[in-house]
Structure 1
Amino acid sequence: MSRPTTHARFEADWLTLRESVDHASRASKLTEAASRWLTDGDAAMGHVVDLGSGRGSNLRYLAPRLPGSQSWRLVDHDAELLDDAQRSARQLAEGSGRIGAIECVVADLATDLDALLDGASLVTAAALFDLASQAWMERLAAACAAQRAAVLFVLSVDGEIVFRCSQDDQRVTDADDLFVLELLDAHQQRDKGLGVAVGTRAPEILEEALVRHGYRVRIEASPWHLGSDSNALAGALIEGWRDAATEQAPAEHERIHAWARQRIAAVARGDLNIVVGHRDIFAVPAPGTGR
């Protein structure tokens, strides 16, 4: 789940908080399918392009699980976060010997996707697509198809947010939850730098774009399950929802902030769990379209 921020910049502490839950939530079968794609490919080295790399969480998860020699191109608009990602890549390369070339590119993803994806065997991204527009996703699918690359796009929000009692696992959603989540949904459709964002419709829109460009698509659920053992992440997430909802409805500031305090306290006490739905997508060019 991408945390809403005014300029869609993801702070390093937020990315660090979410990493372990992200990794535990991912659909491992799709990573295995990506590994088989690279293993079966003709290239001596799999060239992986990671869009919106941030601090390198996607790299840290995938590199040990992908086969053989790999080269990576890490792309993000934030040079400081990319510095962290490059350090991770070097450590992985030294530890495993499986990573060869490492290229870090500071770029606006709204610009030339064809150049960014040049030579890709696998294009990947995590927690990115709720921030993007339908038109941008169409351009991305076309650029991936031009490379005959497989794609592994993970942790796209699907709109499921459920509050559950930790004792009996029953839903405990109330009127304030619904009020705030409606505001959040509206906020997620603002322009985050890649056109008017599609928000929680990202998985279905991305699937449709890939199919139009000749891909066979697999989708699996990758939900977050947050409770007292992930209290810091749950609290930061609720604060992000609070801030987004307040931006959307400033006059309801007091109601929204009271809601956030109550929900954060309930998670901290161990009374409340939160399920945040995500979807992972793996897709390969259909037979006859290349590779």
Structure 2
Amino acid sequence: MTEPLFQISDLSLALPDMARKPLLGRAPRIEILKQVSFELAQGAITGIVGESGSGKTTLGRVLVRLLAPTAGRVMFKGRDIGQLDEAALKPLRRDLQMIFQDPLSSLNPRHTVGRIVATPLERYGVDKARRRAQEALERVGLPGAFAKRYPHELSGGQRQRVGIARAVALEPAFILADEVVSGLDVSSQARVLALLKELAADMNLTIAFISHDLSVIRSLCDAVVVLDRGAIVEAGPCGQVFDAPQSLVTRQLIDAIPLPEIDDSWFDKAAVAGA
């Protein structure tokens, strides 16, 4: 057994409640995350699920330290990154990457695909950034000619592949994928999910996959964390949680969404279908 990449202990996060009037000059605070504890295994894909407002996106932002927790520990590679300032976080940013829900808005429309992928590499002083960017594009199934194209010239699935290439080009340890297939058609979803599954295995990537689609979580992820109103109500291996849910919230989520039988052949067919 390898050491978990992330160990989250008693994590809580409270943010100002702008809908309420200040009290004694201070804005009231609302608790978004409540004593959350779980681990992310090295090289595994962990699904984070819950109803709207459950705190899953906020939790993801804490993992990549776009938000600092109010209390608790966020251990990454054995180091508590929860309260590090930006100067201390800077060397770690390369290891903590994101894939965004809307690929078009996250890609600079004035830059070519090659430049978009190369820019983070140049920022971190990686040698031969352009060549590395080309290799990253090929790794996600986009041939060399795509480096000269602009985002508006690509399909939704191809744009999401560019976003994935930008994230994996730095060879990070962790990727946060927040609703990354929700805006794609079914066939594009299948190909992007197959790609993520392949990259996780080939690169030993740890991925936190946030989604409202439980059928995707069940088929893609190794483990799942179920949130309800900022607290974990259930967590464990996907098969265990889906086949024998222990919490009412999990059972309700499963009952609300049809779960088709998707096996490895589904991913195999998607992987060979192309972009």
Q: TM-score range by the shorter chain?
A: 0.3 to 0.5
* TM-score normalised by L of structure 1: 0.31
* TM-score normalised by L of structure 2: 0.32
Which protein has the bigger helix share? 1
